[in-house]
Structure 1
Amino acid sequence: MHYKSTRGQVAGVGFIDAILMGLADDGGLLVPEHIPQVSAETLKNWQSLSYAELATEVFSLFVNDEIPRSDLEKLVQDSYGTFRHPDVTPVRKVRDDLHIMELFHGPTFAFKDVALQFLGNLYSYVSRKTGSVIHILGATSGDTGASAIEGVRGKEGIRICILHPHQKVSKVQELQMTTVDNENVLNLAVNGTFDDCQRIIKELFADVDFKHQYHLRAINSINIARILAQTVYYFYAYLQLAQQGMTGKLNFSVPTGNFGDIFAGYLAQRMGLPIHKLILATNENNILERFVNEGVYQPGEFRGTYSPSMDIQVASNFERYLFYLYGENTAEVATLMELLKAEGKIVIPEDKRTAVNAEFAAHAVENDECLAVISKYYDEYDYLLDPHTACGVAASDGLTSADEVTVTLSTAHPAKFNEAIALCEIKQTYPEQIEALFSKPQHQTIVDGTNEAVRDKLVQFF
C-alpha cells in the first residue's frame, strides 16, 4: 500500500514514510492510493476475533510488508494491553435500538487512546529500527494531548510538544497533560482557541524546511495512522452486534469536531462495512452540520460549550472527505482549499450536496439540549453520558427510525467533564487515576497564539 496527497503533488509514499510525513509536503492530507475491500465472507470470518486480533487484520491491509507480521502483532498487543476492559471498546446495550460503544477504557479515559497508544508505539518502533529522531508536535482541544503524551512519555528517541487553548479545556483534561513530569514532554498553553492551535501546527508543518530541520512528526488526526486505527472499532461494533443476531439497519452516531472520527467510519463504509447511516453530531460550533444540511462550509464565531473537545470551527480532516466527494480529483481539491483560504468558505453545487446527504445526516446540539439528554439518560436508563456522547445520543434520537439500530460512540468518560455533569445535579465518583491528578503539580508554559511564539519554544525544546 502506498499513500498520496489530496492535493496531487505527493504520491507513492510508503506506510512508514506516510506516518513520519504527517501533513503531506504539498500541504494536503495523505490518503491510501486505493481503499482495500473487505468482503461479507471476510466479515463473517472476523466475528470471532478479539479486538487486538481484528486490529491486526485491519492494519495489515494498509501496512503490507513494511512491518513484519510478528512485529505488527506485538505493536497491537502492546497498544491495547493498556486498556482497562478486556474488549477494549465494549458495546453496551441501552435500548433495543440504541447501543453505546465505550471508547474510554484506555489510559487517559478518552477515545483518542485507541489511536494514540498505537501511534506512540509505532513511532517508538520506527525510532528504534531506523535510528530516526522523532519530534512530535500536536494540538489538542482536550483529549488528544493527554493521549499523545501518555503514548510516548519517557520513551527514548522521542520528544513531544502539545499545544492546547489556555483555559478552554476541562480541568481534568488540563491536569492529565500538565501533571506529566517527563523531560521529553512540553505543554504549551496558547492564548487563543483550538482553531488557533491547529492553524499554528498546520502552518509550521507547511514550512517544509523547518519541518525537516527539526524532524517534526504529527500526532493529530492529519496523520493517516490515526484514521486507520479508528476504523477498527467500527468493524468491531458491527461484528459484536452481528454475533448477537442484530436485525435492522445499522447506524453510527459520532460526536465530532475535527471530522476525523466520523471520517474513519466513512472509510470503513467504503471498505465494505454495511453502515446504513453516518450521523454527524456536533455542538453550537456547527460548521460541519451546516455543511451537511446546507452545502456551505464556512467557519463561524467560536462558542465555548459544555462539550469543549468539539469547540472547533475548522475541521482538519474535512479535506480528506472533499477528496472523495470530488471523485479523487486533486486539482479540484487544491482549488477548493485555496478558495477557503482566500474567501473563507466553500459552497458545493447541488449534485455534491445530494451526494453528501446520501452519506451523512447531521444535528447540532445546543448546551441546554446536551444537559437535558445527560439528565434523561441518567434518570431513565441509569447511564451517565459525558457531554460529547450526549450530543451523539441527541443526534441519534432525532435522526433515526424504529427499524434502525444505532451505535453511538462514547468518546470520553464523564469524569473528564464534571463541569457539565455537576450542572445536571449529578454527583459522580472519580476513578482513582483521575482523582490523583488534583494533588499533583502542573508543568506548562503560556504563550501567545502566534507562529513565532510557538516556534521559539520549539527551537529551545527540540
Structure 2
Amino acid sequence: MRYISTRGEAPALGFEDVLLTGLAPDGGLYVPESLPHFSLEEIRSWRGLPYTQLAFNIMYPFVEEAIPEADFRHMLDETYAAFAHKAVAPLVQLDTNEWVMELFRGPTLAFKDFALQLLGRLLDYVLEKRQEHAVIMGATSGDTGSAAIEGCRHCEHVDIFILHPYQRVSEVQRRQMTTVLGDNVHNIAIKGNFDDCQRMVKESFGDQSFLGGKARLAAVNSINWARIMAQIVYYFHASLALGGPDRSMAFSVPTGNFGDIFAGYLAKKMGLPISQLVIATNRNDILHRFMSGNKYEQHQLEHTLSPSMDIMVSSNFERLLFDLHGRDGLAVKELLENASKGPVSIEDYRWKQARKLFDSAAVDDKATCATIREVYEQNEYLLDPHTAIGVRAARTCRRDVEIPMITLGTAHPAKFPDAITESGLTVKPELPAHMADLFEREERYTVLDNDRAGVQDFIAKHWKNA
C-alpha cells in the first residue's frame, strides 16, 4: 500500500516512511492511495473476536509491506494487554439504543492510548530496523501528550518533546505528562494556546535544520497516519457488539482536531454500515460552523471546561476536504491557503455530500455541566466533559431512534474534576489505583515563550545525541 499527500505535490511513500515522516514535504497529510474494503460477510465473521484479533484484521493491510505478520500481532498483544478492561473498549448503556463506548481504559485514561501505545512500538521497531534515531515533537491540548509519553518512554531510539499550552490543561493531564522522568522525556509548557503549539510543530517539520542532520523529526499528533489507522478499529468493535454489520450504527464523537471522527468516516468507506457521524464540539466550534453552514472561519480560541477540544485549526479536516474535492491536492492546497487569510466555503454540492453522513453540534460549558448532572441523576454514571458534549450532541442531532447511537467516551472523569464540581454534583471521581499517588509525584517541565526559535534551540540542546 502506498500513501499520498493531501496537497498532491509530494512523492508517494510506503508505511515505514509515512510513519517516520509525519507531515508531507508539501505541507499536506498522508492518506492511503486506496483503502481495503471488507464485505458484510467478512465483517460478520469477526463477531466474538478478541479486540487484538479484530485490530489485526483491520490494520494489517495498511502495514503488511513493512512488518511481518507475527511481529505485528506481538505489538498488538502488548499494546492492548496494558488496558484495564478485558473488553478493551467496553460499551455502557445509557438508554434505549443509546450507548457510551469507554475508550479510557488504557494506561493514561484517554482514547489516545489506543493509537499511541501502538505508535511507540511501531516507531521503535522501524527505527531499530533502520538503525536510526528520531526526535518526536508533538503538541497536546491535554491527552495526546501523556499517551504519547507513556507509549514512547521505553523506546530506545526515540527522544520525545511534548508542547502543551501553559496553564491551559487540567492538573491531572499536566501531571500525567510531567511526572514521567525518563531521560528521553521532555515536557515544554508554551506561553500560548494549543494552536500556537501545533503551529510550531508543523513549522518545525517544514524545516528540520535545527537538528543538524543528526536525527529526523517524527510525529505523534494525529497528523501521523498510524494514529488514524488504530482508531478505525473501535468503530468495528462497537458495531459488532451491537448487531452490526446487519444493522447500521450512528456515532457521536467529541472532536477538536477531527482525527477521531475521520477514523469513523474511513470505517464506513471500508465497508462498515454507519448511517450518521455527529461532530460534537465545544465553543471552539469551527467544525460545527462549517458542517452546519458551509463556512470555515477561524475565531478567537476560548478556554473551556473541555480543554482537549480547545482547538481552532483542525488538522485532520484536510483529509476529509481531500476526499470531498475528488482527491485533487492542488484544490485543497488553494482552499487552505485562502482559509489562512479569511473565511472560505466549498462548492454547495461538495458540502451537501458531506452532510449526507455528518451532523454537528456546539455545546457550551453550561450545557456540558447540565449533561453531566442529568446523566448521573438518570444512571449514576459519571461523564467527563468531553464525553458529555458527545452525549448532548448525540441527543440533539439524532436522526433515527431505532439506530443505535454510540458516543465515544474519550476520557476518564477523574481527569476533569473541576467540570464535575461545576456541574453541581458532590461525587468526586477517583483516579484508578495505578495513579492514586499522582499528586505526590515529582514534576519536571520547562516553561518557554511562544517562540519557535527558542523551542527549537531547547530541543537541539536536550535530545540524547545532541
> 1:306-333: per-residue Cα shift (whole Å, max 9, x none)?
1110011100101111000101011101
- Please name the residue that 2:392 is paired with: 394
* Further displaced range: 88-97 or 172-181: 88-97
Q: Match of 1:278?
A: 277
Cα distance, 1:359–1:288 mapped onto 2, change above 3 Å: same
Matched residue, 2:441: 440
1:455 alignment partner AA = Q
Aligned to 1:84, the other structure's residue is in SS state coil
Give the AA of the match of 1:299.
Q
How far does residue 212 in structure 1 lie from its aligned partner after superposition?
Answer: 8.1
How many angstroms does 1:65 deviate by? 2.7
C-alpha distance in 1 between matches for 2:229 and 2:164: 24
- The Cα of 1:134 is off from its aligned counterpart by 1.7
User: Once the 2 structures are TM-superposed, how far is the Cα of residue 103 of structure 1 from its aligned partner?
Assistant: 0.2
**Does 2:92 align with 1:92?**
yes
Does the 8 Å contact 1:204/1:211 carry over to 2?
no
Alignment partner of 1:236 is 2:234? no
TM norm structure 1? 0.97
Question: SS at 1:297's partner residue?
Answer: coil
Q: How far has the Cα of 1:248 moved from its partner?
A: 5.8
Query: Which structure has the highest helix share of the two?
Result: 1
Deviation at 1:421, TM superposition (A): 0.7
The 8 Å contact of residues 248 and 403 in structure 1, kept in 2 or not, is answered as: no
Q: Which stretch shifts more, 178-187 or 419-428? A: 419-428
Point out the more displaced range, 120-129 or 15-24: 120-129
Deviates more, 1:37-46 or 1:201-210: 201-210
CA distance in 1 between partners of 2:331 and 2:209 (Å): 27
**Matches for 1:333-372 after TM superposition, within 5 Å:** 333-341=332-340, 343-372=341-370
Task: State the alpha-carbon separation in 1 of the partners of residues 211 and 182 from structure 2.
Answer: 23
* Map of 1:378 onto structure 2: 376
Whole-angstrom CA distance in 1 between matches of 2:333 and 2:60: 30
5 Å matches for 1:44-55?
44-55=44-55
Correspondence list, 1:417-432, <5 A: 417-424=416-423, 425-428=425-428, 429-432=430-433
Equivalents in 2 of 1:344, 1:184: separation in Å? 40
Scaled by the length of structure 2, the TM-score of the pair is: 0.96
Deviation, 1:247, is 7.9
Return the letter of the residue paired with 2:197.
C
Identity of aligned residues (%): 46
Deviation of 1:43 (Å): 0.5
- The answer to whether the Cα contact below 8 Å between 2:164 and 2:194 also exists between their aligned partners in 1 is yes
Q: Could you report, residue by residue, the CA deviation over 1:429-451 in whole angstroms, capped at 9, with x for unpaired residues?
A: 23233331100121000001121
Distance 1:208 1:37 in 2: 37
2:265 corresponds to which residue? 266
1:250 touches 1:274 (CA, 8 Å); kept in 2?
yes
Amino acid across the alignment from 2:151: G
Counterparts of 1:426 and 1:328, CA distance in 2:
51
- 2:196 equivalent to 1:196: yes
Equivalent pair of 1:249/1:403 in contact (CA under 8 Å): no
2:9 aligned with 1:9, yes or no? yes
Mapped partners of 1:385, 1:247: distance in 2: 30
Number of aligned residue pairs: give it: 459
Structure 1 window deviating more from structure 2 (97-106 vs 434-443): it is 434-443
Distance across 2 between alignment mates of 1:242 and 1:18 = 35
Kept in 1: contact 2:163–2:189 (CA 8 A)? yes
The answer for the alignment partner of 2:454 in structure 1 is 453
Which letter maps to 2:82?
T
Q: Which residue of 2 aligns with 1:224?
A: 225
Letter in 1 for 2:346: I
Question: 1:404 deviation in Å?
Answer: 2.3
Q: Secondary structure at the match of 1:302?
A: coil
Partner of 1:169: 169
Letter in 1 for 2:225: I
- Partners of 2:184 and 2:208 lie apart in 1 by 23
Matches for 1:146-161 after TM superposition, within 5 Å: 146-161=146-161
- 1:346 CA drift (Å): 2.2
C-alpha separation between the residues in 2 aligned to 1:431 and 1:60?
A: 32
Q: 4+ runs of 1 displaced by more than 3 Å?
A: 208-212, 246-249
TM-superposed deviation, 1:337: 1.7
Matched position secondary structure for 2:36: coil
Aligned counterpart, 1:134: 134
Secondary structure at the aligned position of 2:318 is classed as helix
Instruction: Return the alpha-carbon distance in structure 1 between the equivalents of residues 253 and 211 of structure 2.
Output: 33
Amino acid at match of 1:314: V
Per-residue deviation, 1:379: 0.6
The structural deviation recorded for 1:357 is 1.1
CA, structure 1 residues 266+139, in 2 after alignment: closer, same or farther (shift >3 Å)? same
Say if 2:54 and 2:233, in contact at 8 Å, map to a contact too.
Answer: yes
- Aligned runs of 1:313-332 on 2, under 5 Å? 313-332=312-331
Paired AA for residue 193 in structure 2 = T
8 Å Cα contact 1:121-1:152 kept in structure 2: yes
3-state SS in 1 of match to 2:436? helix
Would you say the 8 A contact 1:172–1:434 is kept in 2? no
Tell me, in whole angstroms, the C-alpha distance in 2 between the residues paired with 1:171 and 1:238.
Answer: 35
Code of the residue aligned with 2:356 in structure 1: it is A
Q: 1:93-132 maps to which residues of 2 (within 5 A)? A: 93-132=93-132
CA RMSD between the two structures: 1.4
User: Secondary structure of the residue that 1:195 maps to in structure 2?
Assistant: helix
**Which consecutive unaligned segments of at least 5 residues does structure 2 have?**
none
Which ranges in structure 1 are unaligned for 5 or more consecutive residues?
Answer: none
